[in-house]
Amino acid sequence: MKFNTQLLHGNAIKRYPDGATLPPISQVSAFAYETAQDLEKVFNNRAPGYAYTRISNPVVDSFERRVCELEGGKGAVACSSGMSAVTLALLNILEAGDEIIAGSGLFGGTIDLFGDLKAFGITTRFAKQITVEEIAPLITDKTKVVFGEVIGNPGLDVIDLKAVSEFVHSKGIPLIVDSTTATPYLVQPIAYGADVVVHSSSKYINGGGNAISGVIVDSGKFSWDNKRYPGFAEYQKYGEFAYVAKLRNGIWRNMGGCLAPMNAFLNFIGMDTLGLRMDKICSNALELAKAVDGLNGVTANYPALENNPYKPLVESQLNGMGGGILTMRVGSKERAYQLMNHLKYALNATNIGDVRTLVIHPASTIYIHNTEEQMRDAGVYADTIRVSVGIEDGSDLIEDFTSAIKDLD
Ligand X SMILES: *Cc1c(COP(=O)(O)O)cnc(C)c1O
The smaller minimum CB distance to ligand X, of residues 232 and 384, is found at 384
The smaller minimum CB distance to ligand X, of residues 68 and 352, is found at 352
Angstrom distance (rounded) from CA 158 to CA 129: 9
Angstrom distance (rounded) from CA 317 to CA 151: 11
Is 181 near ligand X (CB under 6 A)?
yes
The smaller minimum CB distance to ligand X, of residues 78 and 168, is found at 78
Cα separations in angstroms, 167 against 32, 137, 173, 318: 49, 12, 9, 20
Write the Ramachandran bin of 239: left for phi over 0, alpha for psi from -120 to 50, otherwise beta.
left
Looking at 92, 129, 165, 180, which residue binds ligand X (CB under 6 A)? 180
Looking at 69, 71, 99, 178, which residue binds ligand X (CB under 6 A)? 178
The smaller minimum CB distance to ligand X, of residues 200 and 267, is found at 200
Is 214 near ligand X (CB under 6 A)?
yes
Q: Which of residues 325-384 bind ligand X (CB under 6 A)?
A: 352
The smaller minimum CB distance to ligand X, of residues 84 and 143, is found at 84
Looking at 10, 109, 250, 394, which residue binds ligand X (CB under 6 A)? 109
Angstrom distance (rounded) from CA 346 to CA 354: 11
Span of 25-33, 137-145, 175-183, 283-291 interacting with ligand X by CB under 6 A:
175-183
Looking at 202, 263, 317, 357, which residue binds ligand X (CB under 6 A)? 202
Span of 19-27, 167-175, 199-207, 224-232 interacting with ligand X by CB under 6 A:
199-207
Q: Which of residues 149-168 bind ligand X (CB under 6 A)?
A: 149, 153
Buried b or exposed e, range 341-357, using 16+ CB within 10 angstroms:
eebeebbeeeebbbbbb
Is 200 near ligand X (CB under 6 A)?
yes
Is 82 near ligand X (CB under 6 A)?
yes
Span of 34-42, 138-146, 195-203, 374-382 interacting with ligand X by CB under 6 A:
195-203
The smaller minimum CB distance to ligand X, of residues 161 and 298, is found at 161
What's phi and psi for 178, nearest 5 deg?
-95, 115
Shortest CB 75 distance to ligand X, Å: 20
Angstrom distance (rounded) from CA 20 to CA 7: 17
Contact between 241 and 220 (Cβ < 8 Å) = yes
Angstrom distance (rounded) from CA 302 to CA 173: 30
Shortest CB 236 distance to ligand X, Å: 31
Span of 178-186, 247-255, 301-309, 356-364 interacting with ligand X by CB under 6 A:
178-186
Q: What is the DSSP string of 7-30?
A: HHHSTT--PPGGG-SS------SB
Angstrom distance (rounded) from CA 44 to CA 62: 21
For CA atoms 61, 66, 70, 74, give the dihedral sign. positive
Q: Using DSSP, state whether 110 is helix, strand or coil.
A: helix
Number of other residues whose CB lies within 10 A of the CB of residue 395: 11
Question: How many residues in the shown chain lie near ligand X by CB under 6 A?
Answer: 18
* Nearest of 117, 67, 23, 97 to residue 244 by alpha carbon: 67
Shortest CB 213 distance to ligand X, Å: 6
The smaller minimum CB distance to ligand X, of residues 177 and 305, is found at 177
Cis omega (within 30 of 0) for bond into 230: no
Span of 32-40, 82-90, 127-135, 358-366 interacting with ligand X by CB under 6 A:
82-90
* Nearest of 328, 255, 271, 193 to residue 23 by alpha carbon: 271
Looking at 107, 204, 235, 252, which residue binds ligand X (CB under 6 A)? 107
Span of 47-55, 94-102, 107-115, 219-227 interacting with ligand X by CB under 6 A:
107-115
Span of 92-100, 164-172, 173-181, 292-300 interacting with ligand X by CB under 6 A:
173-181
Contact between 285 and 397 (Cβ < 8 Å) = no
Provide the binding-site residues for ligand X, judged by CB under 6 A. 81-83, 86, 107, 109-110, 149, 153, 178, 180-181, 200, 202-203, 212, 214, 352
